[in-house]
Structure 1
Amino acid sequence: MITRSLAALFLGLGLWGGGAAVAPARAAEPVFADSPCPTDWPSGVREVRCGRLVVDEARGGASDRRIQVAVVVLKASQPFKDASGQALPPVFMFHGGPGGALTPAAGGILNALKQRPDLMAVDQDLVLFDQRGGGQGEPSLDCPGVQLTDAGPPSDADRDGLIACLKTYQAQGVDLNQYNAAVIADDVKDLAQVLGYAKIDLWGGSYGPRIEAAVITHQPQIVRAAVMDSPWPPEGNWAVGTPEQVSAAVKLILGKCAAQADCRARHPDLQTRFEAEARKWLAGPVVGQVGGKDGARFTVDDLSAFLMETTYDHDGVRRLPADIEKIIAGDLSPIAEVAAERTYYTEGQHMAHLCKEELPFESKARLVAGAAGDPVAEVLVPSLSRLFDVCDAVGESPADPIENAPVTTNVPTLFVAAEIDPGCPPPLTEAAAKGYANSQVVIVTNATHGVINGSLCTRRMAREFLRDPSKPVDRSCLPSADTPLDFIEDEAAG
């Protein structure tokens, strides 16, 4: 799962220069092809290497089709050595989604490092790569014109567009069964090999830890330690249970408002009133104002996307009581703001993952049954249901059940989760960590999805963990459990 803020970082900086197709090599032989980095990237910040990993789409000689994975390596500015005098291994970064990207953000990262040289790639080399099927790789399974969020396709037209798009890729010879976590784990092993790394560290956020878990399962010999930020574990259900998780996040946020006298006075009994509002949206399209103009019309799917996106986002969470008041009053501008941008995924890559390793282990009936009776949860059901329709039409083969099972490992792992997270809530993290014998779990009060980059405290914690994964992390800088959430109100309401 990936949020708007992460999408803006990972997808919005289209700075990668696409290279020419690489000639096929001998089957099953991974190749790293160097290429020039974009000329508009800042120089002198870090030593940078750009290129592409070229591998078989299907390993084992099933096809001679070759694919490319875009890669950027940022060399460490001050390589750290452990107690034995050994330099730390590189950090492989895993983006979220599925359907995100990292290499397009490399230029932005270098610009940020000009101002804040301590942000990353200090102790260890940093390897950014776009997981197969997305970003600047070839193929990149994008579906232009189709909208898709973590709440699913927001309309029947988007559902049908996804089906048509995926079938087009299949007709072009793309084997969608080869775009998933288990195969990416092999890509990571191959990339480490061609770059000359015997060991690597893993660092990912959101769906990134889902891929990290596959590397730990299938290629444990190359992994020294792992950091998982707002993690989505393999055993999580993508659709089933998500409506209840979103509803729980809304209740948590509104409960924090009710616990503060000023917020409670501004928004009395807001949870009950919003449940009544949700029932109205479930009954049919709602018409209201946007920008002071009447006649704006939105559906329950638009409210669904709003709830998912807002409860992921730090500022969205802080505005939620005020935004819900607007919606109840007929001002639908908060809905319109989210509806304006819902194309931040590489949609084909996203669905290839879901149809292989997530939805075959779930069902539409369980989705509906779990949300029944909770109007806020029921808002999420129509759009999430469409995901099953897409997968049924495309017909990928289900993954091996091990891909949906909890991981058992001794790899030292730091889990950092947000207290407020509708997609990757703390109970998922706490349950997953039980299989990691050398794990540490940190839940950050009032934090939202994408915790580590949210504060100097958590960034320092992760950096120190990788310096010595055997030591307990220092939690003294974290906010206390009773820290009030700082809500944002409209100036007019103040």
Structure 2
Amino acid sequence: MSRRLIAALAFILALTGFVAPVAAGEPVFAARACPADWPTDVRQTVCGTLTVDEARDGSSNRRIDIAVVILKASQPYRDASGQALPPVVMFHGGPGGALTPGVGGTLAALARMPDLLAVDQDVIFFDQRGGGADTPSMDCPGVELTDAGPPSDADRDGLIACLKGYEAQGVDLNQYNARVIADDVGDMAKALNLPKIDLRGGSYGPRIEAAVITHQPQIVRAAVMDSPWPPEGNWAVGTPEQVSAAVRLILSKCAAQADCAARHPNLQTRFEANARLWLAGPQTGKDGKTFNVDDLSAFLMDTTYDRTGVRRLPADLEKVIAGDLTPVAEIAADRTYYFEGQHMAHLCKEELPFESKARLAAGAAGDPVAEVLVPSLSRLFDVCAAVDIAGADPVENAPVVTDIPTLFVAAEIDPGCPPPLTEAAARTYSNSQVVIVTNATHGVINSSPCTVAMARDFLRDPSKPVDRSCLPATDTPLAFIEDASAS
């Protein structure tokens, strides 16, 4: 999210409105006015646009714009030698997320909690090419997509049509992926005159951090990875089993508590039986509304990612088993939270070429909860087969080998980025620290003052072990949420 020597350049540009002519291929940062409704008295803020080549191989002269927002540090920290910290660049997840549209809300939050962000070091937010406030921004209006894939054949077909539409506009979909974004980050550092930066991201953000570490290591001082997705992970293959494992873990935490176990006896076995009904055909709830296995798939994925959803899961599964499908309906009401074109450009380039439908189905076979995820995830392969995106070089799917100081923070309960994935990835980061937070869910660092301080202290001095004393004990019970309608 933001950084440092930018002030001089940004404010000179803002005052003069002048951008010198540049040769083709040279990155350019141009300051612009921030949105008028953003708070102006919280952090010194610079908004701008980074303009770079869409393709750096000379295959076209098309240029694209990347939205950038910089929050200046309120109390810049200096180490024992008097050296100021470099800016920290924030990486959003997804793929298909965004950061800059939410900076106004971040500033409002900082007015209430000034120590939350941009205290020690500047923070640079940017929207990874192809999404957010960028040009192009590859949204697919009317198409639904979750981490469990397109929830219907119509959504699959809509994604194909959307991607082909961007191709027809001249967008080279092969240029929207982690490898190319790593070079965007290098260009941003060059345009802003930043010799070093820190990296911080969550979910798919660490996938992009890994690419920066691989392809632009000379600019990276340290990295923080929250609920990380590493390059060697499989997007579709193995995900059904991970979701099933997350459900089993949550329900085992319920079974270990006498009150929860009494409310929900043998819930794992009963839900597996219910999942087989969904696999056999659509289910109609007490209110007459019908949902299918893809709807249950999206419910399981989204719920086991979510802090509140995890705590409600036993009660919600009781409802579903009893024919009250409102928990499924709540998720089905909003499944459009990605810039879907950007999302699929990444998956079709750097994820799915290394996987297959056959392996997806084989891994889930015999586990009814896992099998629920297979149909929607399978549609991702259909989308990629229909568009012109070549698979990435195999190095983009390999573990990263580095000695750059890196802090990995993972959630105990995470269906997409589980702890074993984090622990395996960290083995080739020779100067890394791994923290697994008990009872936490996807997106750990900002969920507690403990982990916020941990990330901040690490970036102050990446050579020191982080303080884990504030973390919950591994045997801490998970606090479940019940309601009057839960059995």
C-alpha deviation, 1:60, in angstroms:
2.8
Aligned equivalent of 2:105: 108
> C-alpha separation between the residues in 1 aligned to 2:401 and 2:231?
12
Aligned equivalent of 1:35: 32
Write out per-residue CA displacement over residues 337-359 of structure 1, whole angstroms, 9 at most, x where no aligned residue: 00000000000000000000000
Write out per-residue CA displacement over residues 247-295 of structure 1, whole angstroms, 9 at most, x where no aligned residue: 0000000000000000000000000000000000000110013xxxx21
Aligned equivalent of 1:95: 92
Matches within 5 A, 1:175-190: 175-190=172-187
CA contact (8 A) 2:319 2:486 kept: no
Write out per-residue CA displacement over residues 52-79 of structure 1, whole angstroms, 9 at most, x where no aligned residue: 0000000032111000000000000000
CA contact (8 A) 2:316 2:486 kept: no
> C-alpha separation between the residues in 1 aligned to 2:485 and 2:97?
38
The match for 1:86 among 83, 88, 104 is 83
C-alpha deviation, 1:118, in angstroms:
0.2
Aligned equivalent of 1:352: 345
The match for 1:437 among 413, 430, 435 is 430
1:243 aligns with 2:240: yes
Aligned AA (1:138): T
The match for 2:439 among 423, 446, 464 is 446
The match for 2:270 among 248, 269, 273 is 273
Task: Decide whether aligned partners of structure 1 residues 158 and 201 sit closer, same or farther in structure 2, where only a CA change above 3 A counts.
Answer: same
Write out per-residue CA displacement over residues 80-136 of structure 1, whole angstroms, 9 at most, x where no aligned residue: 001111000000000000000000010001000111000000000000000000000
Aligned length, in residue pairs: 469
RMSD: 1.1
1:191 aligns with 2:166: no
Aligned equivalent of 1:8: none
> C-alpha separation between the residues in 1 aligned to 2:49 and 2:398?
31
The match for 1:324 among 317, 320, 336 is 317
1:152 aligns with 2:149: yes
> C-alpha separation between the residues in 2 aligned to 1:273 and 1:73?
51
Which deviates more from structure 2 when the two are superposed, residues 390-399 or residues 374-383?
A: 390-399
1:368 aligns with 2:361: yes
Write out per-residue CA displacement over residues 29-70 of structure 1, whole angstroms, 9 at most, x where no aligned residue: 100011100111111111100010000000032111000000
1:139 aligns with 2:132: no
Query: What SS does the corresponding residue of 2:42 show, helix, strand or coil?
Result: coil
Aligned AA (2:425): A
> C-alpha separation between the residues in 1 aligned to 2:332 and 2:446?
26
1:62 aligns with 2:43: no
Matches within 5 A, 1:414-425: 414-425=407-418
> C-alpha separation between the residues in 2 aligned to 1:417 and 1:132?
26
> C-alpha separation between the residues in 2 aligned to 1:374 and 1:317?
20
Matches within 5 A, 1:158-307: 158-289=155-286, 294-307=287-300
Aligned equivalent of 2:404: 411
Task: Decide whether aligned partners of structure 1 residues 436 and 353 sit closer, same or farther in structure 2, where only a CA change above 3 A counts.
Answer: same
Which deviates more from structure 2 when the two are superposed, residues 356-365 or residues 52-61?
A: 52-61
Query: What SS does the corresponding residue of 1:203 show, helix, strand or coil?
Result: strand
Aligned equivalent of 1:16: none
> C-alpha separation between the residues in 1 aligned to 2:413 and 2:338?
22
Aligned equivalent of 2:14: none
Aligned AA (2:87): P
Query: What SS does the corresponding residue of 1:445 show, helix, strand or coil?
Result: strand
TM (norm. structure 2) is 0.95
TM (norm. structure 1) is 0.94
CA contact (8 A) 1:24 1:66 kept: no
Aligned AA (1:31): V
Query: What SS does the corresponding residue of 2:149 show, helix, strand or coil?
Result: coil
CA contact (8 A) 1:28 1:60 kept: no
> C-alpha separation between the residues in 1 aligned to 2:367 and 2:485?
32
> C-alpha separation between the residues in 1 aligned to 2:358 and 2:165?
29
Aligned AA (1:123): D
CA contact (8 A) 1:202 1:225 kept: yes
> C-alpha separation between the residues in 2 aligned to 1:61 and 1:92?
27
Task: Decide whether aligned partners of structure 1 residues 35 and 269 sit closer, same or farther in structure 2, where only a CA change above 3 A counts.
Answer: same
Task: Decide whether aligned partners of structure 1 residues 24 and 252 sit closer, same or farther in structure 2, where only a CA change above 3 A counts.
Answer: farther
Task: Decide whether aligned partners of structure 1 residues 482 and 493 sit closer, same or farther in structure 2, where only a CA change above 3 A counts.
Answer: same
> C-alpha separation between the residues in 2 aligned to 1:83 and 1:194?
29
Task: Decide whether aligned partners of structure 1 residues 23 and 396 sit closer, same or farther in structure 2, where only a CA change above 3 A counts.
Answer: farther
CA contact (8 A) 1:34 1:51 kept: yes
Greater than 4 Å deviation, 4+ residue runs = 22-25
Aligned equivalent of 1:49: 46
The match for 1:471 among 447, 464, 470 is 464
Percent identity of the aligned residues?
80
> C-alpha separation between the residues in 2 aligned to 1:295 and 1:159?
26
Unaligned runs of 5+ in 2: 1-18
Task: Decide whether aligned partners of structure 1 residues 449 and 23 sit closer, same or farther in structure 2, where only a CA change above 3 A counts.
Answer: farther
1:378 aligns with 2:375: no
Aligned equivalent of 2:125: 128
> C-alpha separation between the residues in 2 aligned to 1:240 and 1:492?
36
> C-alpha separation between the residues in 2 aligned to 1:358 and 1:26?
34
The match for 1:482 among 448, 463, 475 is 475
